[in-house]
Amino acid sequence: MATIAFIGLGNMGGPMAANLVKAGHSVKGFDLSADILKTAAGNGISPVTSLDEAVAGADAVVTMLPKGAHVLSVWGALVKAATAGTLLIDCSTIDVESARKAHELAAGAGCLSLDAPVSGGTGGASAGTLTFMAGGSDAAFASAKPLLEAMGRKIVHCGGDGAGQAAKICNNMILGISMIGVCEAFALGEKLGLSHQALFDVASTSSGQCWSINTYCPVPGPVPTSPANNDYKPGFAAALMLKDLKLAQEAALAAGAATPLGAEAAQLFDLFDKQGNGGRDFSAIIEMLRG
Ligand code: NAD
């Protein structure tokens, strides 16, 4: 069993670190919030008060932080304290460029590194059923896989440095666009006098089927577990969808890729967020689209 340092024990990192403990690993946790450290201690994580203390004697370090700037600042400190050969895994959702810079920091210190963002939300983090999209060398992936398996169900090696982040933002761009498409279709169906159930029964079994309708239908009724049945409590908050769509737009600009629908989706979620809906589930955008 490994000794693991876990940095960033928030909504996602807290339950992920707890699952590493459940799998028998020894986990040291660091977070800027004292309250979060106290909760983590209740889940068998040993709280530490500095990054140096976290990394001392650790075989692997996992980071789960808000943005690229946080990851680069924490990894900058980690590589100074880590011994060569330590495995660094970043599970945050960040921009591809920062992810590649983080890999460079690790390589400079002789550490193995992986970008491994996740899909599955806080429910998947608690249940240990996350999907990991990993980018990095074969050696880093092989070394990280048993740890990722303690926190997730599906682990995909997407390619070299930054490939995990690239897969994550491409996937979430599909999701943002498809949810808007499904919402528009239901709003149009309402105006045409079509019941939600009738449109669902047809589209979920025909060429319109997709995750946004079959699993996460944005109107109450057809899929009882979708947030639409629970006053659009997240689920997946609209602010996080906006974050991911903006990351996709940054990456598209840098790579010279045309993503007109991705750009439109980012603008619509930006407007929805500015109307005070960032904390609601992203499928609630149907209310804005109804006009
Ligand atoms: P969160 O805000 O709940 O947790 C982030 C934690 O990082 C906080 O506890 C904060 O105190 C800590 N932190 C910030 N800077 C730090 C530093 N320098 N040193 C130590 N700790 C520091 O956020 P979250 O919802 O857990 O999301 C984390 C990442 O996971 C984000 O990149 C997010 O986009 C991604 N993500 C979130 C979800 C979700 O449903 N919440 C789903 C998939 C991916």
Whether the CB-CB separation of 77 and 55 falls below 8 Å is answered with no
Question: How far apart are the CA of 174 and the centre of ligand 1, in A?
Answer: 23
Ligand 1 touching residue 181 (CB < 6 A): no
- Cα–Cα distances (Å) from 107 to 71, 125, 136, 250, in that order, read 15, 28, 11, 25
* Cα end-to-end distance, the chain, whole Å: 55
Catalytic residue among 22, 38, 80, 168: 168
CATH match of 167-289 with 3.40.30.10: no
pLDDT tens string, the chain, 291 residues long: the values are 899 999 999 999 999 999 999 999 999 999 999 999 999 999 999 999 999 999 999 999 999 999 999 999 999 999 999 999 999 999 999 999 999 999 999 999 999 999 999 999 888 999 999 999 999 999 999 999 999 999 999 999 999 999 999 999 999 999 999 999 999 999 999 999 999 999 999 999 999 999 999 999 999 999 999 999 999 999 899 999 999 999 999 999 999 999 999 999 999 999 999 999 999 999 999 999 999
Does any ligand 1 atom lie closer than 6 A to the CB of residue 152?
no
pTM of the model: 0.95
Distance, in Å, from the CA atom of 144 to the CA atom of 231, rounded to the nearest integer, reads 38
Distance 126 CA to ligand 1 centre (A): 14
Q: Under CATH, which architecture does the 3-161 domain have?
A: 3-Layer(aba) Sandwich (3.40)
pLDDT of residue 121: 87
Structural domain spans, the chain: 3-161, 167-289
Q: How far is the CA of 289 from the centre of ligand 1 (A)?
A: 30
CB atoms under 10 Å from CB of 42, counted, come to 8
> DSSP state, 9?
-
Ligand 1 contacts CB of residue 33 (under 6 A): yes
The verdict on whether 38 is a catalytic residue reads no
